[in-house]
Amino acid sequence: MDDYAIGVLTNIALFSFIALSAYLLLIAGEMSFGQQAFFGVGAYAGGILTTLYAWPLPLAALAAMALGAVAQFLVALPTLRLRGLHFAMATLAAAEMARILFELMHWRREIDGELAGPDGTQGFRGIRWIFEHGIEPLHYLGIVGVLLALVLALFLMIERSKLGATLRGVGLDPELAASVGIDVQRIKLGVAAAAGALAALGGVLYAHHNTYIEPRNFDIMLGVHSLAYALIGGLGTAFGPLLGVLLDIGALESTRVFHGYRMIVFGGLVALVLVYRPRGLLDERTVQWLRQRFS
Amino acid sequence: MAKAALLLIVLALPLLAQAQTPEAQLRCESTGQDFVYDCTLMLTRFGRPLEGAQVTVGADMPSMPMAHSVRPARARPGLKPGEYKARLDLEMLGEWAIKLRLDGPVRDLLVLHYEFDSKGAMPRKR
């Protein structure tokens, strides 16, 4: 496999983490335009821990996930009182606040004779853990792929469990769910924390793949894409967001001949799917049909 | 004597570690074709030209890092030591994060920020 193919596949896998975090909130009935903030929290936290404090990447990833979970829990605590578009706008505002905080963050130390660490708008260079540990791009793709497979397996287990049914119940009709004794607020707070942890995991992996991050990497474009992946792919199964990422990156990569205009393909894809398949290509009905057909 | 040698080693360590990461300078000129640039890279390490590296040049837009990426091009060695040449086919004008993947005597990924206009590229200023 050449470097280009490895790069594209790694990008697909990295995008999938943030797409799955947006999907998790969507099935619980909440639309977030702010998952890029927690992706950024994970990227910065993981980068700081491995680069400035020499933590091993697995430990730094766990710490970043915990921080991502706490951050999204704290954002969800006041904003989950809002509904629909108001919640979406609140998450977008929170994400912009996070991006501005990244711009104001200066946390530099001398490492091996060179200054390293976040330097505001100049970004954070030298997140070189995978190079220092001799991890080749294909090996790193394998690590990211295995982590994604584990996350996906966890999603599929939850979706087949009582918790999965509860989540969908809360998402489809929170009042009805509350009337049968489900603590809707508690479930949604738990979902928000899990979505924050998942986005943060994607962020840590992204930072170490790229070696450089800056606040603009975590702006609204990433949030819109992550939400669009879940909506294009479908809300019937956790494979939906992955299908969304595959379709988008596949379409973008195969239409390079159109240069910058190829982003129109992405916009057109979102518009078409939202008109004809409001809950995505792999919506609940399609997934049910596929299960009946192949079981 | 041993103490003096140890002291010398300790004092020399920061110097040895200095600029362990390769440094790169980029110069790009438009080919006349829209968004296509001929770029010359100068790579140094420990202040000396870095020769024999396999360099792959890619580019990303900082505001959408994984979607507007450009197909990486393999750079060929130039005439001077540490010099490499590559052609970049971008999608639009504006700021790009140029990614240099190095293999061979040193393995690394360097990210440089340049502003591309109709004539060439300038380092980003903020």
DSSP-assigned letters across all residues of chain B? -HHHHHHHHHHHHHHHHTT-S-EEEEEEEE-SSTTEEEEEEEEEETTEE--S-EEEEEEEBTTBTTTS-EEEEE-EE-SSTTEEEEEEE-SSSEEEEEEEEEESSS-EEEEEEEEE-SSBEEE---
A29 to chain B, closest Cα gap in Å: 27
* ipTM exceeding 0.85, yes/no: no
For chain B, the residue count is: 126
The CATH code of domain B23-123 reads 2.60.40.1930
Q: Name which of A78, A65, A92 is nearest A200 in CA terms.
A: A65
Place of tokens 């599929």: A156
Measured CA to CA, the distance from residue B49 to residue B81 in angstroms comes to 6
List pLDDT tens digits, range A245-274: 998 887 777 776 666 677 777 778 788 888
Coil, strand or helix at A111: strand
For chain A, the residue count is: 295
List pLDDT tens digits, range A37-92: 999 999 999 999 999 999 999 999 999 999 999 999 999 999 999 988 899 999 99
Put simply, the chain A residues between 255 and 274 with a CB less than 8 A from any chain B CB are: 256, 259-260, 262-263, 266
Domain positions in chain B are 23-123
The answer to whether residue A214 neighbours chain B at the CB level (below 8 Å) is yes
For A104-245, strand residue ranges (E) read 109-111, 114-116
Of residues B65, B92, B126, nearest to A121 (C-beta)? B126
Of residues A4, A15, A211, nearest to B111 (C-beta)? A211
Task: Collect all residues with Cβ–Cβ distance below 8 Å to B24 and sequence separation of at least 6.
Answer: B41, B42, B43, B44, B100, B110, B112
Per-residue pLDDT of chain B (126 residues; tens, 9 = 90+): 556 655 554 444 444 444 468 899 999 999 998 889 999 999 999 889 999 999 999 998 887 766 667 788 899 999 999 999 999 988 888 889 999 999 888 888 899 999 999 898 988 766
Distance of CA B123 to the CA centre of its chain: 12
pLDDT at A157 exceeding the cut of 50:
yes
Judge contact between A46 and A208, C-beta under 8 A: yes
Q: Are strands B23-30 and B36-45 parallel, antiparallel or unpaired?
A: antiparallel
pTM above 0.95, yes or no: no
Q: Do B72 and A212 touch (CB under 8 A)?
A: no
Interface A-B, measured as beta-carbon pairs within 8 A, has a size of: 78
